Structure formats: C-alpha cells, structure tokens
C-alpha cells in the first residue's frame, strides 16, 4: 500500500520535505501541499506532477488520499495545525520546536494521544551518521560514563528580522538551540536540571530591535551531575559549523566536521580548504533519514524513536535558557511547567 503524504507549509524546510517525498522516499506519494501563498503552491504543482494544491490546511486535511502530514509551518502556528491534523486522524511529522510554549505543546500532545495518531518531531541530528554512531558507542560503554558535553551550532549569517522575532520563531535559543538541547539529553542519557545563559548581539545589533540575539553561551547541569555547554550563534561568516564533544570516564568522542571537500590546496601562501556552506550540505542525508524513519513507522505501526516527551523536554530546557537570558540568573528547568 502506498501512503499519501501532505505537506503543510512550503517554506525552506517544507520544500525540502515535499521534494524528498515526491522524488526519493519509497512506499509513499506526495499527494497534496498547502500554503497560504498561492504562488508558492502553484510553483510546487508545476514541479511535481499529480500533486493537489490547497491554500487552506483544513482543505488538505479533508483530502481522503492524505494518510499523514508533514507540518513545516511557522512555529507559532504548529499548535493549531497539529491539533487539526490529529482530529482529522492523520499521522503527523512536525518540525521543531513543537510550539512556542509548553502549554501549547501539551495541548498538541493531548490531541495526538486522544486521536491515537502517530507523532514525530523533527530532530534530524539523531539521524546524522556521526551523531548516531556517537550514541551507539556511548550506549556500548566505549567511553565509560559521559561526564561533560559541549554542543556547538554556528550559522554563517542571521535570519530575517521578521523570522528572528521571538513571537514568530521563539528566538535564537529556542529556534536554533533546541537541536542542541535534544542532542545533549540524548547523548548524555540524562535530564538537564538547570541552565545559565550569557548572550550578545555584537555582529548583528539590529536583532535587538525585535528582541533577539546573535550569540548565546549556555551552561548546563545534568540531574546525575554531568556538566554541559551549548553555544549557538549566527555569526560564523566562514561557514556552517556544527560540532559536539563528549568526555567520558574512559575516553572521549568528537562529532562533526568543517571541511566539506577532502582536498587541501597547498601553495607558498599557505594551506587552504573549503568549508560546509550551510545545513543542506551538512544534514541533507539526516533530513531524508528522519522522514524515512517516519514512513517506516507508519508502514509497520511502530512508535517513532523520537518521542513526544523528547520534544517537550528539549523545549522545556530551551525555554528555561531563554528565561535565564532575560532574567540574568541560573534557572532550574522545572521552573518551566
């Protein structure tokens, strides 16, 4: 049986998911897309044959060919779209974060549980080959008990001011740092107990006009005593720089790479190499793998490896770090309820 997929929201990530489902994924068919921007949906229909375009999500959800939806709308709309999809009986893949608040997230999870539909959140780093191998080695005891972890996420430039507005995206720590919060919880196999954030906007001071920042350093304390640090920024003009280092009682792991092409240019002026320009080059296979996992879970009636509680916990830690940013103090994650 071929499963019908609908994609809601055709921004940058929505187009990535729609294209993969239409052209690469096995056992599924892209049958519908929805976006309020008519020109955007018309363009997608022109590129992919047999796809029905809708301007309203409720029309897509009423399409009987749609078995599951991929939600790639702005974070501020996730709650309404996911609740409607659950009530329509559709399986749901939702881009991170689940929502801008834990209240909205809990409303989403209640709707999903009540409807009995599958729900997966887009934490693609879990499906990255390097991160997955690090997790395998940690679980196998290769480096002993993890003691400290540092996760670095550096974008080469800032987003638009409209998107940077916390009312739209949640701000840097929630929108970007949530990947790191999920990753460190997963690799450390522990809950984050408290956080402390220091932030600045030295490269893009205009971000302050919408209440956002360009750099954040967040110190973490885990429930079992481990320590961590998360660095997120939009100031890495040299390229897209994603790293993670884990130190355990018997060894250490380093995850990530900066050089894209395995070629060094050696001249009298020095040694040069290229760098990864952006997230499609670094995490393209991981984005594909997480959708394939979603599809496989649909076909085999299994629960996704990324749970709803994983998504909630990452958002809770992100909200606590954002509170620390604004209040200038150590924040216990349990303060965010």
What is the tens place of the pLDDT at every residue in 272-301?
999 999 999 999 999 999 999 999 999 999
Per-residue model confidence (pLDDT) at position 35: 95
8 A C-beta contact, residue 320 and residue 195 = yes
Phi and psi torsions of 30, nearest 5°: -75, 110
Per-residue model confidence (pLDDT) at position 2: 86
Q: Give all domains of the chain, ordered by start, each with its CATH number.
A: 3-117 (3.40.50.720), 134-278+313-335 (3.30.360.10)
* Average pLDDT of the residues in 246-268: 97
% of the chain residues with pLDDT over 90: 93
Mean pLDDT of the chain: 96
* Average pLDDT of the residues in 238-258: 97
| Residue range 148-188, pLDDT digits in tens | 999 999 999 999 999 999 999 999 999 999 999 999 999 99
Per-residue model confidence (pLDDT) at position 45: 87
Per-residue model confidence (pLDDT) at position 113: 97
Q: What is the value of pTM for the model shown? A: 0.96
| Residue range 91-127, pLDDT digits in tens | 999 999 999 999 999 999 999 999 999 999 999 999 9
* Average pLDDT of the residues in 136-158: 98
Per-residue model confidence (pLDDT) at position 49: 87
CA distance 25 to 324: 41
Residue 25 has pLDDT above 90, yes or no: no
Helix axes 78-87, 102-115, angle to 10 degrees: 10
24: its two tokens: 């690469």
Per-residue model confidence (pLDDT) at position 301: 93
Per-residue model confidence (pLDDT) at position 24: 84
Phi and psi torsions of 178, nearest 5°: -60, -30
8 A C-beta contact, residue 2 and residue 26 = no
Per-residue model confidence (pLDDT) at position 337: 85
């Amino acid at each position: 049986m071929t499963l019908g997929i609908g994609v809601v929201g055709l921004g940058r990530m929505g187009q990535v998911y729609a294209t993969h489902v239409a052209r690469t994924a096995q056992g599924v068919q892209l049958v519908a897309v929805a976006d309020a921007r008519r020109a955007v949906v018309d363009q997608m229909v022109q590129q992919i044959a047999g796809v029905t375009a809708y301007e309203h999500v409720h029309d897509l959800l009423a399409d009987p060919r749609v078995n599951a939806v991929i939600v790639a709308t702005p974070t501020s709309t996730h709650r309404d779209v996911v609740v409607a999809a659950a009530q329509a009986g559709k399986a749901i893949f939702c881009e991170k974060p689940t929502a801008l608040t834990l209240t909205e997230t809990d409303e989403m999870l209640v709707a999903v549980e009540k409807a009995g539909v599958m729900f997966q959140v887009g934490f693609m780093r879990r499906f990255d080959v390097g991160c997955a191998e690090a997790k395998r080695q940690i679980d196998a005891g290769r480096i002993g008990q993890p003691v400290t972890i540092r996760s670095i996420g550096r974008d080469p430039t800032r987003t638009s001011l409209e998107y940077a507005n916390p009312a739209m995206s949640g701000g840097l720590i929630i929108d970007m740092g949530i990947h790191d919060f999920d990753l460190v919880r997963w690799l450390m196999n522990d809950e984050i107990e408290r956080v402390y954030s220091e932030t600045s906007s030295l490269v893009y001071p205009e971000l302050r006009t919408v209440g956002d920042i360009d750099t954040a350093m967040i110190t973490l304390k885990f429930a079992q005593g481990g320590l961590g640090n998360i660095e997120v920024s939009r100031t890495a003009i040299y390229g897209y720089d994603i790293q993670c280092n884990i130190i355990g009682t018997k060894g250490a792991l380093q995850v990530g790479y900066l050089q894209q092409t395995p070629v060094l240019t050696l001249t009298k002026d020095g040694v040069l190499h290229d760098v990864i320009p952006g997230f499609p080059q670094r995490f393209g296979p991981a984005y594909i793998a997480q959708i394939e996992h979603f599809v496989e879970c649909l076909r085999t009636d299994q629960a996704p490896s990324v749970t709803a509680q994983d998504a909630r916990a990452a958002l809770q830690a992100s909200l606590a770090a954002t509170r620390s940013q604004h209040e200038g103090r150590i924040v216990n994650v349990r303060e965010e309820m």
